[in-house]
């Protein structure tokens, strides 16, 4: 299966994509996670990307397209994958097509700006394994400790500050939302109501992808 998650920041793309990837035994390919990893490792690319990310801006297309091309070339992606956070611009969507990738389903997770602000404002993330929690909606079993990997010291992402959240939402509406029409034309788009519980969102996705 070749799946893609579309939707605003904080829609729950990562939360859902991780679970689907495990259930379907396909890799979860998240450009946000890959960029944060490059940044942790301190590579030149990671340092450059960090400047954009902290400001709530998109990293340049060439950089992100290069990362995704390399990742999709790896063996484990040959039987399918779930893309999360890519493509995010028209140029990225066209680059994906030029790589010869046809998506079976584009899951458009629909969530209002108000909900996004509440979710990102309360998000806590595991810097070790990338698991995400929410102070109110989905707290870890033990405060500050990752349920998934046991790491102690959950963090708030640098770009989950109010000014960066606002910028990310603006960027989403200007650059990413137009992809809804793009994928609708191709006939791959499926709308999922993202303002239900994580469990209900998961079930709606599972119904679509079988």
**What are the residue numbers of the active site?**
13, 88, 123, 157, 168
Q: Of these partners, ligand AP5, Zn ion, none, which one is at the site of residue 131 (CB under 5 to 8 Å by kind)?
A: Zn ion
Binding mask 83-122 for Zn ion (x = CB under 5 A): ----------------------------------------
Least distance CB 184 / ligand AP5 (angstroms)? 20
Part in contact with Zn ion (CB under 5 A); list of ranges 52-60, 113-121, 138-146, 185-193: 138-146
- Can you tell me the distance from the alpha carbon of 63 to that of 49, in angstroms, rounded to the nearest whole number? 8
Triad 85, 88, 90: Cα angle to 5°:
155
**In whole angstroms, how close is the CB of 197 to Zn ion at the nearest point?**
22
Beta bridge partners of 28: 82
User: At which residue do the structure tokens 């960029």 appear?
Assistant: 35
Number of residues that bind Zn ion (CB under 5 A): 8
Q: What's the CA gap between 60 and 66, in Å, rounded?
A: 10
Angle subtended at Cα 197 by Cα 191 and Cα 201, rounded to the nearest 5 degrees: 30
| CA distance linking residue 86 with residue 46, whole number of Å | 17
Query: Contact residues for ligand AP5 (CB under 6 A)?
Result: 7, 9-15, 31-32, 35, 52-53, 56-59, 64, 85-86, 88, 92, 119-120, 123, 132-134, 137-138, 159, 168, 197-198, 201
Q: Which is nearer to Zn ion, 37 or 62 (CB)?
A: 37
Residue with tokens 């790896």: 74
> Do the beta carbons of residue 122 and residue 135 sit within 8 Å?
yes
Residues that bind Zn ion (CB under 5 A): 126, 128-129, 131, 146, 148-149, 151
């Amino acid at each position: 299966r070749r799946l893609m998650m579309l939707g605003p920041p904080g829609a729950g793309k990562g939360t859902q994509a991780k679970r689907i990837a495990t259930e379907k035994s396909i890799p979860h390919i998240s450009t946000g996670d890959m960029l944060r990893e490059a940044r942790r490792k301190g590579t030149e690319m990671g340092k450059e990307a960090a400047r954009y990310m902290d400001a709530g801006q998109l990293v340049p297309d060439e950089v992100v397209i290069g990362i995704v091309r390399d990742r999709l070339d790896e063996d484990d992606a040959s039987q399918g994958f779930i893309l999360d956070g890519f493509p995010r611009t028209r140029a990225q969507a066209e680059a994906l097509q030029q790589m010869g990738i046809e998506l079976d389903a584009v899951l458009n997770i629909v969530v209002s700006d108000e909900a996004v602000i509440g979710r990102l404002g309360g998000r806590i993330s595991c810097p070790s394994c990338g698991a995400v929690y929410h102070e109110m909606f989905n707290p870890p079993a033990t405060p500050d400790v990752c349920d998934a990997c046991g790491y102690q010291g959950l963090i708030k992402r640098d770009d989950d500050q109010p000014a960066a959240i606002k910028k990310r939402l603006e960027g989403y509406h200007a650059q990413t939302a137009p992809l809804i029409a793009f994928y609708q034309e191709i006939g791959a788009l499926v709308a999922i109501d993202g303002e239900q519980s994580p469990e209900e969102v998961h079930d709606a996705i599972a119904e679509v992808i079988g």
